Structures are given as structure tokens and as C-alpha cells.
Amino acid sequence: MTKTESMEGTLLDWLRDAHAMEKHAEQMLSNTATRLEHYPELRAKIERHLEQTRSQADRLQTCIERRGGSTSTFKDTAAQLLGFGQALTGVFTSDEVVKASIASFAFEQMEVATYKGLITAAESVGDAATKEVCQGILAEEQEMAGWLDENLPGVVRTFLARDARGTSAKH
């Protein structure tokens, strides 16, 4: 195997991993959004990002198929189950909205780093189309991470105020 073939194989593996990551995010966002009754702005933002996430998975699948590969059913299923399990853990905590917001912010940062790596890998093998797709997704992930960064204090304040009043603060 040549160095180029090895790099191309690595890029394909990383694209599959990113696709599974987006499937995980889709499950996590979907479950979280359904439970945000008292946080309409956060819910709306998550629902918009959920649509972006679904589109990101589709765009990654196109890149994978263009490179002659297919998505990994195992990785996608495992990621979706992990996302479902992660969402379930919040059901039993009174501060679910705060913990979900923090987890979402951390997850967005991981996605940002992933797409920066994919851009470099695509560039290294001369795959301009994949690089362009990943740059578009990176911009979406950076926007969501920035929004969460800017709005986390407000979510925490709303939670604390609702909790202090004895009103339902969880969702």
C-alpha cells in the first residue's frame, strides 16, 4: 500500500467516524429537544441544529460514497444507541437542561476539532469536494458552539430562577 492509498483509507475511515458522530448527535439532540418545555429559545436552536445535523450526515454519506465507500452500520447504530443512552441519563436529574447544555457545548467543540482534521486530511489527498463539504459543516458547528457559549449563562440563570421559585426548572 502506498502512502497516498494509506492516507485515502484513513480519510475514508474518518469520514465514517464523522458520519457516526452525526448520527449520535442526531439522537442526542432529538431526545433533548423533546424535553425542553420551559426553554423555548434553546429548544428552537436545538431543533434548527438537529435539521443541520441530519443534513451533515447526508453530506458526509455523499462524500463517503463518492470515495467508493459506504457508511458503517455498526458505527452508526452504536452511535445512535450511545446518544439515546446519554439522553436517558438526563431524565433522572433535576438539572438536566444545564447538564445537557454543557454536554452539547463540549460535543460541539469535539465536532469542530473533527472537521478541522477532516479538512486537513481531505486537502492532503487532494479531495477538494470533501474539503468543501467539511468546511461548510465546520462553519455550522462553530456557529452552534458559539451560540451555546453565549447562551449557557442565560440557561443557567433561568434554571436557577425557576428552581428558586419552586417551579419546574428541569425542562
Asked if pLDDT for residue 109 goes beyond 50, the answer is: yes
Q: Which residue bears the cell 463540549?
A: 106
**The whole model's pTM is what?**
0.86
Q: Which residue has the higher pLDDT, 138 or 170?
A: 138
* pLDDT value of position 81: 53
Mean pLDDT of 49-62: 98
Asked if pLDDT for residue 86 goes beyond 60, the answer is: no
The beta strand positions in the chain, using DSSP E, are none
Query: Whose CA is closest to 91, among 163, 160, 35?
Result: 35
Q: How far apart are CA 57 and CA 123, in angstroms?
A: 20
Asked if pLDDT for residue 32 goes beyond 50, the answer is: yes
Residue 77 pLDDT grade (very low, low, confident, very high; cuts 50, 70, 90):
low
